[in-house]
Amino acid sequence: MADDKEVEKTIAEDLVVTKYKLAGQIVNRVLEQVIAKCVPEASAREICEFGDKLILEETSKVFKKEKDSKKGIAFSTCVSVNNCICHFSPIPSETDYFLKQGDLAKIDLGAHIDGFIAVVAHTVVVGGGEVTGRAADVLLAAYLASEAALRLLRPGNENQAITDVVQKISAEYGCKPVEGMLSHQLKQFRIDGEKSIIQNPSEAQRKEHEKATLETYEVYGMDVLVSTGEGVGREMDTRCTIYKKTDEIYQLKLKASRMFYSEVRNKHGSMPFNLRSFDKETSARLGVVECVNHKLIEPFQVLYERPGELVAQFKFTALLLPSGTHRITGLPFDKSQCKTDRTIKDPELNSLLNSSAKSNKKKKKKTGTEEAMEVETAA
């Protein structure tokens, strides 16, 4: 797997920008089609399988001449509903969930071309219609916090400033960001780069989390998760299905584990993967255990808020270019569907949200690809 490059490729190269934006276009097209499947009585597992299949189909159509180029799923499609915070993407042997009218469904997925990753997440109300009460509060809090984060994703700004603004906007709607969730810098073949932006850190997390300054030519997967509850995720009895290879080394004892790990290395490299992608589910479930126990593979746990609470999520990928910040993933969100008495009263927050999210107008001599996907402020 070509994930250890001699020289790190960044968006200072036009070709890299093109690959990121192509991955972003694919992700947005897939997200639209996945959202269309989120109707009452639909199976969450079937929607996840549909999303993954589409990502593989779409990525297979591009950069065909680059024979050694890896491409495909950067994050398996998840459909996490209501108080389920994240990573619900069940395999056939696990309990499915069937969507109901009024459910808040968070769709999360990602694609990559040559290791350049585009991720996205969007929250929809199953069955549509007007949204009221706490559902409206949490949707607006998460959406507006993500819009504010976009406006602060600029070279020279500190990661802590984004943490603080997400916290403040959530509080205006009587909500809390989910504690400890990270938005990572994205690098080639790496979904969890060195720099990150933390949400709602505990005292211990605040002390440990590294302060960082955003810089030109960096890429971020900005992930905002907001809860109507206390904002603390907990594992329940839902089995984890998404994992990622680490850089740890260990000599596995079981033959099933060695075969599984070999397939992970060859097929997925350092990208997150779902156990669904293995032909023999039973063997994969057996093989993953020893790998996780010895930290060769790390799990993306399925987390939950308390029953009765609601969690909303919006995630986008942003390129920090000299011409400005370009959001390459994410779909428009109709705020007018949410009816609540709560509003943002803080004038500084309103000023930030009313500022333009578009790229600077200078430096428009760049390639057409850069201009084509200027950040649009969703209505």
Query: Residue 368: is its pLDDT beyond 50?
Result: no
pLDDT (0 to 100) of residue 6: 66
Structural domain range at position 29: 14-240+302-354
pLDDT (0 to 100) of residue 377: 31
Confidence bin at 279 (pLDDT 50/70/90): confident
Beta carbons of 29 and 59 less than 8 angstroms apart: no
Query: Residue 3: is its pLDDT beyond 90?
Result: no
Residue 366 lies inside a defined structural domain of this protein: no
How high is the mean pLDDT of the chain? 91
**How many structural domains is the chain composed of?**
2
- Is residue 270 located within the same domain as residue 173? no
Residue 198 lies inside a defined structural domain of this protein: yes
CA angle 35, 331, 115 (to 5 degrees): 90
The arrangement of strands across the sheet holding 84-86 comes to 84-86, 303-304, 234-235
Query: Residue 328: is its pLDDT beyond 80?
Result: yes
Beta carbons of 103 and 81 less than 8 angstroms apart: yes
Sign of the CA dihedral running 39, 41, 44, 48 = negative
- Is residue 30 located within the same domain as residue 176? yes
**pLDDT per position as a tens digit, 82-133:** 999 999 999 998 999 999 999 999 999 999 999 999 999 999 999 998 999 9
pTM of the prediction? 0.91
pLDDT (0 to 100) of residue 360: 57
Query: Residue 64: is its pLDDT beyond 60?
Result: yes
- Is residue 91 located within the same domain as residue 222? yes
> Can you tell me the distance from the alpha carbon of 124 to that of 235, in angstroms, rounded to the nearest whole number?
23
CB-based contacts of 250, cutoff 8 Å, min separation 6: 294, 295, 296
- Is residue 21 located within the same domain as residue 161? yes
CA angle 333, 151, 361 (to 5 degrees): 100
> Can you tell me the distance from the alpha carbon of 2 to that of 269, in angstroms, rounded to the nearest whole number?
9
Name the percent of the chain lying above pLDDT 90.
85
| Block residue for tokens 């920090």 | 320
pLDDT (0 to 100) of residue 281: 84
**pLDDT per position as a tens digit, 32-60:** 999 999 999 999 999 999 999 999 999 99
Query: Residue 9: is its pLDDT beyond 70?
Result: yes
Q: What is the CATH number of the domain that holds 266?
A: 1.10.10.10
- Is residue 87 located within the same domain as residue 111? yes
Q: What is the CATH number of the domain that holds 175?
A: 3.90.230.10
- Written as six digits, the tokens of 249 are 């080394």
- Is residue 161 located within the same domain as residue 195? yes
Residue 376 lies inside a defined structural domain of this protein: no
Query: Residue 230: is its pLDDT beyond 90?
Result: yes
pLDDT (0 to 100) of residue 67: 72
Residue 369 lies inside a defined structural domain of this protein: no
pLDDT (0 to 100) of residue 375: 38
- Is residue 188 located within the same domain as residue 287? no
pLDDT (0 to 100) of residue 15: 95
Residue 171 lies inside a defined structural domain of this protein: yes
**pLDDT per position as a tens digit, 148-203:** 999 999 999 999 999 999 999 999 999 999 999 999 999 999 999 999 999 999 99
CB-based burial label for 154 (10 Å; 0-12, 13-18, 19+): middle
Boundary residue ending a domain (278, 300, 322): 300
3-state secondary structure of 86: strand
